[in-house]
Chain A
């Protein structure tokens, strides 16, 4: 998976939820969305990217990915 593309996708999702006044709700919105719509290898790739520093991720996207359930 092209991780730059995944970063861009995660940031786009975060941009929608960023209009949520409650920041924890925004993070949960992003986490829930990714966990419900992203296929396993996409989730795995974005988690690995975060573990490598998460370059390019917006703060909300980063916080959400930190809360994603680890995948094997």
Chain B
């Protein structure tokens, strides 16, 4: 596929020793294993090609890349022929040109020149034109495949269409679906002139197994597979490289812009995180950014029962500032606080926490990571010394055994899942620890060697049982432990996990996992030799979330699986900038770089730069803010980019707290559930309007570049500055790079980070400082960040959330591929074609016992509340377990989750809620009202100073 400013080298890179050869008289040195095609392209002597592209293995079918090699007979294909020392290659000759013209003419007979809707993007037409081919001598109804076997254009996918008439059956799309995405949804049906690309069992794309990742479009050399947006928008006038704002993979994307609007989003082939791939969200679901629901004018109201009034920025900011000042004067400086967002940039996040600490004068700042990965920060900091994952994504290609715990990468982190599946197809073993049969358990060419299908809430019991096997069967890496770990803590832990109570047999009644499966999985992981653990919110969102993270780190240390490629402990972060928001000092007890506010020397560096005294007392965590709001000691909040009323557990508790506030200021792009309780609404910006950086799950800092101007007139960081200045604490940044310079000056792990360096290197993985000037792909090499790795005793403590005869089932929650988090973005895109409502998955036995049929409405009741969902009967969940996603507010999933939380961090226990499920006739009254509700427009008032220029 045409890609602006990208030089396609034809085949993937070789990996061997250097080989020198001669190509058209030029001396070229490349790694052994490199194809002649790639070597020639690297020497700017590109060989014509059609079936080759450098993201796929060579195929050798199109016959236009033929070359001559001195001393060899015939005309070998340059894509399938590897370089050799001293080889002399000719890429151009009269004979080669004649053959290529002949082959191209045959292709053109089936794909006439000018038939592509946008010929400038068609590789075939480009090539034919270069070879002086206008019309084909072979064209005609007897040879033209599309005439021979006509097929209608497939428009079923909301984002792209497939036109068989433009297809040259090069198989690039089929191979991309296999090699890049790993879904195997496409195939070639028929033979000879009848051969054509089909999806699944010759189904429309939308109804097939296709996951709409776009890899086939990226691979297609003609206009056969093409985005619908391109068909209407035309050629891009500009291309901006930026970073996806969905999950924590942090794909590098190229936004193509036509007439001021995004006409296409393509994966950046040079992106280190995504390696030229994307998913249905990142690649296609960007339309929310310009959705009609966007709020672009500031709004205020006196009471949450009043209508909104549209006002100028000046009035909104001054109102918010005066309210915060009033509240602090009346109730004390600790009566207000702020929340940063994992959807905002590092610079925006840093500025919000600075506003709270320096301008509000309190440490009452927290972030949405509180409710997802805060146990990761706690657990990894205590055991290994740093609150972050240990690897880069490419490390998975060196793993021998992959253990996935409490995560469903194909649904929540699909681009990394594709990389993982590539490694699994190459032979790596797979252990899945999850109550649900996630797609990875069994999918095309991938099958888990062990699926430890535990009962929700028993993670720690399982990790201890795995450790028990490792310790009692002598599978520990004693040399590694002796050299790198704290001996006393190891001995204590070893004695603990060796106790019979932690054996797989003793734990089986608790976990529901057969002891022999635990034993087999433990042996497999420990013997690796490279064992890599990837985990998600199924680990952290438990009452023992931090304990489990420590248990994972214990196991990895005991088996020597840390500190090199192919191993490690890797949290898969839910949102795009969870890592970054944590790094930036969003937690109430820590400055940027995870340093406690009570540390006098650290605090002094911030006081010196910020020129204001800072509190040495840690502030309130998010759930504690709700508690304090309900007792009247917390009265005002500034929330940037988060929908607490939908995303936080026990909705009635959260909304009661929000409703009690005297001033709630939210900054967002849409009216969300939290906005119902707000007094000031400050319009925010989408990722397309942002300028800054995101940090993904690999600690990779990538640039987010402005593609379109902020619809509301101001960048989010500028709005925070306005608020700070109105409060009397001056902020005068002229560009986000100046904020990053301040972050670097104050944060030891960021001292080497600059925008210039990120632009030069493409991205940087922190720590980036004097010791690692170009960043750190793998952490804990040689030694752990904390010095000696520390083991923690991790006793299993059952959650307080127990099943009873009244609440006999355990509810757990998760995500689906096409939707994202609370759905604010993806619900406003055509992704609804795949998932338009949340459903409750229930096992056939549990459904039958309740008289529930497929598609029925069911009432779901917990100790916290109740809601109604439509049911899906499936064996993906075990008997006794039910599951739902939480992408739609009308589902009210968090009405039923409780306020149980992790002992160390207060991360909510979303993953375990005891419920009862009964068949009902229809959704609850509030749900029916919501489904039929039309959002009210704000009352407009003239805004005299509403020019942000």
Listed in ascending order, the chain A residues whose CB lies under 8 Å from chain B are: 1-2, 5, 8-9, 12-13, 15-16, 18-21, 33, 36-42
Contact = CB atoms under 8 A, between A and B. Distances in A.
Interface in B784-814: 793-795, 797, 800
B492 interface: yes
A20 B547 CA distance: 13
Contact of B903 (A1, A15, A42): A15
Given A13-B904, A16-B903, A18-B795, A41 B543 contact: no
Contacts of A39: 334, 364, 588, 617-621, 624
B627 A5 contact: yes
A27 to B, nearest CB: 15
Interface string B618-630: 1111001001101
B598 interface: yes
18 contacts: A1-B628, A1-B633, A2-B627, A9-B901, A9-B903, A15-B903, A16-B797, A16-B904, A19-B496, A19-B795, A36-B596, A36-B618, A37-B904, A39-B588, A39-B624, A41-B633, A42-B620, A42-B624
Can you list the 10 inter-chain pairs with the closest CB atoms, starting with the nearest? A19-B795, A12-B903, A19-B793, A39-B620, A15-B797, A13-B903, A16-B903, A40-B617, A1-B631, A1-B627
A33 B617 CA distance: 14
Determine chain B's interface SS by DSSP, over half rule: loop
A36 B589 CA distance: 7
Contact of B904 (A18, A33, A41): A33
B630 A2 contact: yes
B492 A21 contact: yes
Nearest to B596: A36
Given A16-B797, A16-B904, A37 B628 contact: no
Contacts of B546: 16
Contacts of A18: 795
B906 interface: yes
B205 to A, nearest CB: 49
Contact of B598 (A15, A36, A42): A36
Contacts of B793: 19-21
Interface in B879-919: 899, 901, 903-906
Nearest to B332: A41
Given A15-B797, A19-B794, A19-B795, A37 B903 contact: no
Contacts of B899: 5
A51 B784 CA distance: 43
Query: For this complex, into which size category does the number of interface residues on chain B fall?
Result: 20 to 34
A12 B901 CA distance: 9
B544 to A, nearest CB: 8
Nearest to A13: B903
Contacts of B904: 13, 16, 33, 37
A37 B334 contact: no
Pick the most buried of B544, B627, B904: most chain A CB atoms within 10 A of its CB. Answer: B627
Nearest to B796: A19
B362 to A, nearest CB: 10
- B543, B598, B620, B633 interface centre (most CB from chain A within 10 Å): B620
B797 A37 contact: no
B417 to A, nearest CB: 33
A15 B27 CA distance: 69
Given A2-B630, A36-B598, 16 more contacts: A1-B628, A1-B631, A1-B633, A5-B627, A9-B901, A13-B903, A16-B903, A19-B793, A20-B793, A33-B904, A36-B589, A39-B364, A39-B617, A39-B618, A39-B620, A40-B617
Given A13-B904, A42-B624, A2 B631 contact: yes
Nearest to B797: A15
A12 B801 CA distance: 13
B543 A12 contact: yes
A14 B775 CA distance: 39
Contacts of A19: 496, 793-795
B352 to A, nearest CB: 19
A2 B626 CA distance: 11
A9 B900 CA distance: 9
Contacts of A21: 492, 793
Nearest to B492: A21
A1 B793 CA distance: 31
Interface string B578-601: 000000000011000000101000
Nearest to B546: A16
A37 B504 CA distance: 34
A21 B795 CA distance: 11
